[in-house]
Structure 1
Amino acid sequence: MFTGIVREVGRIASLAGGDDGVRLEIDAPRTAPVVEVGGSVAINGVCLTAESIDGERIAFHAVPETLRRTTLAGLSAGAQVNLEPALRAGDAMGGHIVQGHVDGVGRVQSVEAEGEGLRVIVEAPDDLLRYCVEKGSIAVEGVSLTIAELHDDAFGLALIPHTLAETTLAEIAPGRPVNLEVDVLAKYVERLVARG
């Protein structure tokens, strides 16, 4: 389990493989010391298992299912990624409950400066928008954010300077695909109501 509070922006050192899966090696000097082999790390919101740790470098394997459902297949060596190690007992819950199970991929529609931050509109599939509510939570690229506005085919975000300084979202641009994870509580409520 995660909170959507990014702990480090890491850099992909290498990425090898293809449709059968990809091995990622990520330079993560702050994350590597707190993760053990077999531990979970959210990479741009995608929960992956640390297969090996060599100094400040962590290696992961993304299977075809993960590559089909996320933006990881579009990454390349040198790319920066949001990193969050799994929550430990006693850690602060600063964001919201995030599983690291990406629900789908959205696309950035527009980015505009707004004060010292950014106003970002993200197009999302209908099956995800039904879980979105104004002032509700959503994870975008693994970052816990608050939905500022809703549209028929999109939602809006107001990104504050701290978020821009501490995550990869400062580089967000129109047309960019982004990993989305809706609030898991909304999915449970829907399931319980449907079952009566």
Structure 2
Amino acid sequence: MFTGIIAERGTVVALEQQQGSAVLTLDVPTLADDLGLGGSIAVNGVCLTAITREGGRIDVDVMGETLDRTTTGSLKAGDLVNLERCVPAGGRLDGHVVQGHVDGVGALLERENQGTWDRLRFSVPAQLARYIAEKGSIAIDGVSLTVTAVSPADAPEQWFEVGLIPITLAETGLGAKRPGEGVNLEVDVLAKYAERLLAFLDRGLS
């Protein structure tokens, strides 16, 4: 489990496409120091498994499902990525419960500077919009954020907004995100579980 609090940024060395999968190589400043083989690390919000490590450089496996449902397949050498290690038992939950299981890809529609902070509006796939609520939580490229506004349920194109404070602008990739660029979205898992439970209750199953 992760919390959506980015620890540092890493650099993409290479993305080697294979048949139905890929291997992503990253330079990691410090988070790889105690990352054992098979250990988990969130890369732009995607939970990936370390398969090799040499100093501060790691390789992680990326399966086809991940390539299909995230922006990982578009990474290229030199790109900076948000990194977070899984939270230890007893660790602080400073953000919200983030699994690293990306639900889909959105895109930055617009950003507006508000003085010391920025307002960002993102598109969201229609099938995910019902899980996003004003003042609820969402992970964008692995960053835990509070939703400040949402589109009406009957809007032809669904969107939501967040506000980024100075430290988020400076320490994550969202500070340099430009309109049109894609982002990984993970909605609140509690909303998905609630919907699944209600679906069974409506059928008289409990």
TM superposition score category, shorter chain reference: over 0.9
Q: Computing the radius of gyration over CA atoms, which structure comes out larger, 1 or 2? A: 2
Shift of 1:19: 5.2
Aligned counterparts of 1:74 and 1:55: Cα–Cα separation in 2: 25
> How far apart are the structure 2 equivalents of 1:108 and 1:165?
18
Partner of 1:36: 36
- Residue 149 of structure 1 corresponds to which residue in structure 2? 149
1:174 to 161, 173, 179: 179
- Seen in structure 2, the aligned counterparts of structure 1 residues 149 and 23 have a Cα distance that, compared at 3 Å, is same
**Within the alignment, does 1:192 sit opposite 2:188 as a pair?**
no
Does residue 105 of structure 2 align to residue 105 of structure 1? yes
Q: TM-score, normalised by structure 2?
A: 0.92
**CA displacement, residues 147-196 of structure 1 (integer Å, 9 cap, x when unaligned):** 00011310001011011111111111100111000000011111112221
Query: What percent identity do the matched residue pairs reach?
Result: 49
Structure 2 residue matching 1:193: 3-state secondary structure = helix
Gap runs ≥5 in structure 1: none
**Residue 17 of structure 2: aligned partner:** 17
Aligned to 1:139: 139
The TM-score with structure 1 as length reference comes to 0.97
Write the letter of the residue equivalent to 1:17.
Q
Query: Deviation above 3 Å: which 4+ runs of structure 1?
Result: none
CA distance in 1, matches of 2:63, 2:101: 13
Deviations 1:29-86 (A, max 9, x none): 2110131111111100111001111101111011111101100011101000000111
Q: CA deviation at 1:18?
A: 4.5
Q: CA RMSD in A?
A: 1.0
Matching residue's letter, 1:94: D
Gaps of 5+ in 2: 202-206
Count of residue correspondences: 196
| Residue type at the aligned position of 1:78 | G
* Counterpart residue identity of residue 167, structure 2: H
Give 1:20 deviation, angstroms.
2.4
Inter-partner Cα distance in structure 2 for 1:35 and 1:18:
24
Secondary structure of the corresponding residue to residue 50 of structure 1? strand
Report which stretch shifted further, 33-42 or 175-184: 33-42
